[in-house]
């Protein structure tokens, strides 16, 4: 398991990061548990900054040596990581707070390891964290007073202009209140080879944000009485090959990433990604794989789980997944510029992704060597910032779901701050819900503030870190007291 696949890139950035304890780096030691020992070995290898050392770590722990390059790509952006405190620990899972030499200064780092020796990393999640109280670089808000809307929008534009001038942001950002546009501006190029600029109607890959659409579809079927969140997978997919998934995993587990399923980035995916066209194609990548843990035991971000949800939608509704989302979400919300396009389709005004994920230095390159042919229930569809605003309006005006089910899916169900396909976080006493998505050359975010009426949509065709910084900056301004 590498930092590329389970770090800042694919898991949500909505997870609530608690402030660190008062432990100092001099006092804290990693616990003598399987998770603590593997994490200690990982940090030692990672901080050496050597590709060969990282390869030896993966080989010694029974992992894939190819992950070493991805880890070193992350190292190029973060530099060495310094342990500050242990936030929580069990035999096979540990969460720590670290300081990074570069990039996001403070990071929450969670590792889950296998139960069998040599306890290889099975899941790694890295999220930006607040600086701990008392630290020398505790970040304070840029201004003490609450900004007017005009002042906030001016700061947003100035910040984006600066990032664009530094070639760190390429995409479109939108801020609205009560469905009314406050700010919308495009930056950078949609196609570098043709020198085609992004514009405010450009379609971008959403990454994992499509999970919100899958969640709404499941909730619509539940609202109609066609399924229950407590139904097992086997109730609807009687031929699902793994008996544990079939008999023990519920729709609730799948929606909250507590099923014990993982993600489908494996050798089969590498071999088949350019021919993936259907939900069944995705299922074939992992169906039959055993669970990592007993369903409900813990949180583990799972893209495979949302593919299973897509298969359930098809079975229960009698429609293909893509047709269902088009007819029951996109059309009612008037999202006319959203869809799940194949790589070979000639789609007008579609942004190409550009990444440095596999290259520490040098120019960005097209991300076509990592994308599947077509997105699916776990992510990879396309949309525009205007369509995402239309989705927010339709969702909270209850054109897609009644209030009961809208509240249900957007409210956290697990301590990590995840509901049913939506994250939830309280920032300065203000509730925020939504989802983001990221992969090489893909970074997208939709955040909604129901109590204040604000909606923020950010779509980019660069790697995630700078988009996430924009999202955090806007959140701080919106929730400032």
Q: Mark whether 271 and 379 lie in a shared domain.
A: yes
What is the torsional sign of CA 220, 298, 208, 239? negative
Residues 62-76 have pLDDT tens digits of 876 667 777 876 787
Cβ within 8 Å of residue 363, ≥6 positions away: none
Residue whose entry in the numeric block shows the structure tokens 């495009």? 186
406 and 265: one domain? Answer: yes
Q: Which domain holds residue 39?
A: 3-128
- pLDDT tens for residues 242-254? 999 999 999 999 9
More confident residue, 231 or 101: 231
Do 269 and 313 sit in the same domain of this protein? yes
Task: Kindly state whether residues 32 and 170 are assigned to the same domain.
Answer: no
Tell me the CATH number at 405.
3.40.710.10
Beta bridge partners of 196: 191
Q: Which pLDDT band holds residue 50 (cuts at 50, 70, 90)?
A: confident
Q: What is the DSSP string of 402-446?
A: -HHHHHHHHS--STTSB-SS-EEEEETTEEEEEEEEEETTEEEEE
What is the structure's pLDDT at 115? Answer: 83
Please give the tally of structural domains in the chain: 2
Joined together, the tokens standing for residue 287 give 């169906």
Q: What is the pLDDT of residues 431-471, one digit of tens each?
A: 999 999 988 899 999 999 999 999 999 999 999 888 988 99
Distance CA 371, CA 270 (A): 10
DSSP 158-202: HHHHHHHHTT---EEEEEEETTEEEEEEEESEEETTTTEEP-TT-
Residue 137 CB burial class (10 angstroms; 0-12, 13-18, ≥19): exposed
Please indicate, yes or no, whether residues 338 and 428 belong to a single structural domain of this protein: yes
Q: What mean pLDDT value characterizes the chain?
A: 89
Tokens matching residue 354? 């550009």
For the chain, the C-alpha Rg in angstroms (whole number) is 21
Q: Same domain for 303 and 450?
A: yes
**Tell me, what's the pLDDT at 122?**
80
Q: What is the layout of strands, in order, in the sheet containing 180-187?
A: 180-187, 171-177, 454-460, 442-449, 430-439, 423-427
Do the strands 430-439 and 423-427 form a parallel or antiparallel pair, or are they unpaired?
Answer: antiparallel
pLDDT reading at 195 higher than 90: yes
Highest mean pLDDT (candidates 112-116, 134-138, 260-264): 260-264
Q: Is the pLDDT of residue 140 over 60?
A: no
pLDDT at 473 exceeding the cut of 70:
yes
Out of 128, 160, 183, a domain closes at: 128
Q: Does residue 133 form part of some domain?
A: no
Q: CB–CB of 116/292 below 8 Å?
A: no
Query: What is the Cα–Cα distance from 262 to 286, expressed in whole angstroms?
Result: 9
Contacts of 377 (CB under 8 A, 6+ apart): 210, 211, 214, 279, 282, 306, 307, 309, 310, 313, 321
Burial 441-463 (b: 16+ CB within 10 A, else e): bbbbbbbbbbeeebbbbbbbbbb
What pLDDT digit, counting tens, does each position of 375-399 carry? Answer: 999 999 999 999 999 999 999 999 9
User: Quick one: which of 7, 22, 1, 141 has its CA closest to 81?
Assistant: 7
CA distance 132 to 126: 16
Are 28 and 83 in contact by the 8 Å Cβ rule? The answer is yes
Residues 100, 147 share a domain: no
Residue at a domain's end among 128, 151, 171 = 128
Indicate the range of 27-36, 215-224, 314-323, 337-346 predicted with least confidence: 27-36
Structure tokens at 336: 């006319």
Question: Is the same domain home to 284 and 375?
Answer: yes
How far apart CA 56 and CA 176 sit, in angstroms, is: 49
Q: Is 216 within a domain?
A: yes
The reply to whether 10 and 75 lie within a common domain is: yes
User: Which tokens in the block code for residue 92?
Assistant: 């096979």
172 plus 83 within the same structural domain: no
Burial 69-105 (b: 16+ CB within 10 A, else e): bbbbbbbebbeebebbbbbebeebbbbbbbbbeebbb
Quick check: is 43 in a domain? yes
Q: Are 94 and 174 within one domain?
A: no
The CATH number that applies at residue 38 is 3.10.450
Structural domain contains residue 322? yes
The whole-model pTM stands at: 0.82
Domain membership of residue 138 (yes or no) is no
Tokens (6 digits) for 291: 């669970």
- The pLDDT value recorded for residue 68 is 77
Integer Cα distance of 437 and 469 in angstroms: 14
Say if CB 283 and CB 246 are below 8 A apart. Answer: no
Q: Which of 94-108, 237-251, 356-370 has the highest mean pLDDT?
A: 237-251
Query: Per-residue pLDDT for 18 more than 50?
Result: no
What pairs with residue 109 in β-bridges? Answer: 96, 126
259 with 372, same domain?
yes
């Amino acid at each position: 398991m590498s930092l590329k696949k389970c770090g800042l890139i694919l898991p949500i950035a909505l997870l609530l990061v608690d402030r660190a304890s008062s432990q100092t780096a001099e006092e804290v030691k990693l616990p003598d548990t399987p998770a603590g020992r593997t994490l200690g070995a990982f940090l030692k290898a990672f901080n050496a900054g050597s590709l060969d050392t990282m390869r030896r770590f993966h080989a010694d722990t029974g992992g894939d040596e190819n992950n070493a390059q991805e880890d070193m790509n992350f190292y190029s952006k973060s530099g060495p990581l310094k342990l500050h405190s242990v936030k929580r620990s069990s035999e096979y899972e540990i969460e720590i707070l670290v300081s990074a030499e570069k990039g996001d200064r403070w990071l929450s780092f969670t590792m889950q390891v296998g139960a069998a020796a040599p306890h290889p990393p099975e899941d790694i999640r890295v999220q930006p964290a607040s600086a701990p109280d008392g630290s020398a670089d505790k970040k304070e808000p840029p201004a003490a007073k609450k900004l007017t809307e005009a002042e906030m929008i001016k700061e947003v534009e100035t910040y984006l202009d600066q990032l664009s001038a530094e070639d760190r942001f390429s995409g479109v950002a939108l801020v609205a209140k009560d469905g009314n546009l406050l700010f919308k501006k495009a930056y950078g190029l949609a196609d570098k080879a043709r020198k085609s600029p992004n514009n405010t109607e450009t379609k971008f890959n959403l990454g994992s944000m499509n999970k919100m659409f899958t969640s709404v579809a499941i909730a619509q079927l539940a609202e109609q009485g066609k399924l229950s969140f407590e139904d097992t997978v086997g109730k609807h997919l009687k031929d699902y090959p793994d008996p544990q998934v079939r008999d023990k995993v519920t729709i609730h587990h799948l929606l909250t990433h507590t099923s014990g399923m993982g993600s489908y980035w494996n050798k089969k995916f590498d071999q088949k990604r350019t021919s993936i066209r259907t939900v069944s194609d995705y299922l074939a990548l992992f169906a039959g794989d055993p669970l990592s843990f007993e369903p409900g035991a813990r949180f583990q971000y799972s893209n495979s789980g949302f593919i299973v949800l897509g298969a359930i939608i098809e079975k229960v509704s009698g429609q293909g997944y893509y047709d269902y989302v088009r007819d029951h979400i996109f059309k009612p919300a008037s999202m006319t510029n959203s869809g799940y396009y194949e790589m070979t389709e000639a789609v007008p005004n579609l942004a190409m992704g550009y990444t440095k994920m596999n290259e520490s230095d040098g120019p960005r390159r097209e991300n076509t060597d990592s994308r599947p042919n077509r997105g699916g229930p776990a992510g990879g569809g396309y949309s525009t910032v205007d369509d995402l605003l239309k989705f927010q309006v339709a969702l909270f005006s209850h054109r897609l779901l009644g209030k009961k089910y809208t509240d249900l899916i957007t409210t956290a169900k697990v301590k990590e701050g995840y509901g049913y396909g939506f994250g939830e976080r309280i920032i300065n006493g203000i509730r925020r819900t939504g989802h983001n998505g990221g992969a090489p050359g893909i970074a997208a975010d939709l955040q909604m503030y129901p109590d204040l009426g604000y909606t923020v949509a950010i779509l980019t065709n660069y790697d995630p870190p700078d988009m996430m910084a924009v999202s955090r900056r806007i959140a701080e301004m919106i929730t400032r007291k």
